[in-house]
Structures are given as C-alpha cells and as structure tokens.
Structure 1
Amino acid sequence: MTEIEQLRAQVDELEMKQAFQDQTIEELNQALTAQQFLIERMQVQMKFLVEKQKGSQTSNLADESEETPPPHY
C-alpha cells in the first residue's frame, strides 16, 4: 500500500467516524430535547398537585363553634 493510499484510508476512516459522531450527537440532542419537554410537563403537573394538596389540607374536625353539643347536655 502506498503512502497516498494509506493517507486516503485514514481520511476515509476519519470521515466515517465523524459521520457516526454527527449521527450520535443528533440522536442525543433529540433525546435531551424530549427529556427536557417531559421534565417541564412534570413540573407543571407537580405544581398543580401541590396547589391541589394545599387546598385540601383543611382539618376534618369542625370548629368548636360549629360542633353540636354532646347528647348529655
């Protein structure tokens, strides 16, 4: 194999590696974008649930003024 053929083979190999890396980077970017969208959606849902939980944290016990007196009174 001549020196030029060796260089050509090295260039070809580097071009294949670069193409593979470009594809991998694009796939990772798509996955990251999808994950970010999911995280944002989950944050909105979590905020909704926290607000809903805060609204439902009223005590199950009635206020003393609202309590009916026990039967022995």
Structure 2
Amino acid sequence: MSDDETLNERIDRLEIRIAYQDEIIEDLNKTVLAQWKQIDLLTRRIAALTDRIQEAEHKAGGPSAPEPPPPHY
C-alpha cells in the first residue's frame, strides 16, 4: 500500500468515527433536553404542592371561630 492509500483509509475511518460521534452527541442532547423538561415540570409541581400544603396548614392552624354548643345544651 502506498502512503496515499494509507492516509485515505485513515481519513475515511476518522470521518466515519466523527459521523457516529455527531449522531451520539445529538442523541445525548435530546435526552438531556427531555430530562431537563421533566425536571422543570416536576419542580413546578413540587412548588405548587408546597404552596397548597402551606395554605392548608395556615387554614388549619389559624384562629377558628368558636364552636356552637351541641344541640342538647
């Protein structure tokens, strides 16, 4: 084999390798983006639930009106 053929084969292998790496990077990027969206959604849901719990605690622990006496009194 001549040096040119060896060089061309090396270049071809490198181009194939780069093409696979580009595809893998794109797949990883899509996966990270999907996970980020899921994390963002879950974070917002947790914040909403935290607000609801705090509101329920506030209502339950706040001053309540005196209870009327039972009917038999």
Q: TM-score higher than 0.5 here? A: yes
Listed as ranges, the matches of 1:1-73 within 5 Å are 1-57=1-57, 58-59=60-61, 66=66
The structure with the greater share of residues assigned to helix is 2
- Show structure 1 runs of 5+ residues with no match: none
* d(CA) in 2 for partners of 1:51, 1:3: 71
1:68 shift after superposition: 6.4
Indicate the percent of aligned positions where both proteins have the same amino acid: 29
Q: Let me know the Cα RMSD of the aligned residues.
A: 1.9
* d(CA) in 2 for partners of 1:30, 1:68: 61
1:66 shift after superposition: 1.8
Corresponding pairs, count: 66
1:51 shift after superposition: 0.5
